[in-house]
Amino acid sequence: MSTPTDRPRRALVTGASSGIGAATVRRLRAEGWDVVATARRADRLDALAAETGASAVVADVTSAVDVDALVAHVRDSGGLDAVVNNAGGAFGLDPVEHADVEQWRAMYELNVLGTLRVTQGVLPLLRERGGGDVVVVTSTAAHGAYPGGAGYTAAKHGERMLSETLRWEIVGEPVRVIEIAPGAVATEEFSLVRFDGDAERAAQVYAGYEPLVAEDVADAIVWTLTRPAHVNVDLLVVRPRAQANNTTIARSQG
């Protein structure tokens, strides 16, 4: 999207304390963007801010109070050209029959309602700029099912429908709505959180093939943000070469 030459474009990145979020902050800063990084963990945010020159705001996207304060900070400190809704996560890998209802609730609250809260809050800021970008980082889980994944796939399907419906609802406005759907991405925390800290089980997810890394997804995000203003990348699916779909991965033997 276009921006006046006297200021850099400004982005808000959620879930910025690690993984894809942190990589996106680093990449945007390297491209000359002004970045507001937000997440729940102050120590990690502060370290990222010191490293990159981004500004850090501690906020939990599942808290309406936190999101309101975050939006107010962004508005009062310079406005916004783009938001990268990256905060999310998976909890558990249980079959439907034995699923933990509270894990499902937590995944919906984080992945869907967190994205909803932030997007609702920043849309007026994007309009004040004369246009901007809403990026939603979903997952290939938003486009297919797999055994044990019903809670996460349900949440990511919901997040996908949020972004697609928003695009239809605001068509004609100079606001792009972009969905990035990564496949298997080896980050330091995603599978570890999913398996409640079981490092051995988490490592098995990525054994025998080369998965994506956070920087691969950050590269895709920034590419979509830097297309000409009339170009909207509705959906970008990014998988490792070895992964054909959610359940088919070519793994080496031994």
Catalytic residue IDs: 152
Q: For 205, phi and psi rounded to 5 degrees?
A: -60, -35
* Residue type present at position 109: E
> CA 58 to CA 17: how far, in whole Å?
10
- Using CA atoms, how far residue 153 sits from 11, 148, 157, 159, 233, in Å, is 27, 9, 6, 10, 22
**Length of the chain as a residue count:** 254
| Among 216, 222, 152, CA closest to 186 | 216
Q: For 69, phi and psi rounded to 5 degrees?
A: -65, -40
CB atoms within 10 A of CB 113: 17
Q: How many CA atoms lie within 13 A of 148 on its CB side?
A: 9
Classified as helix, coil or strand, 47 is: helix
> Within the chain, where are the H helices?
19-30, 42-52, 64-76, 101-108, 114-128, 150-169, 190-194, 199-204, 214-225
Instruction: Let me know the angle formed at the C-alpha of 179 by 203 and 232, rounded to the nearest 5 degrees.
Output: 145
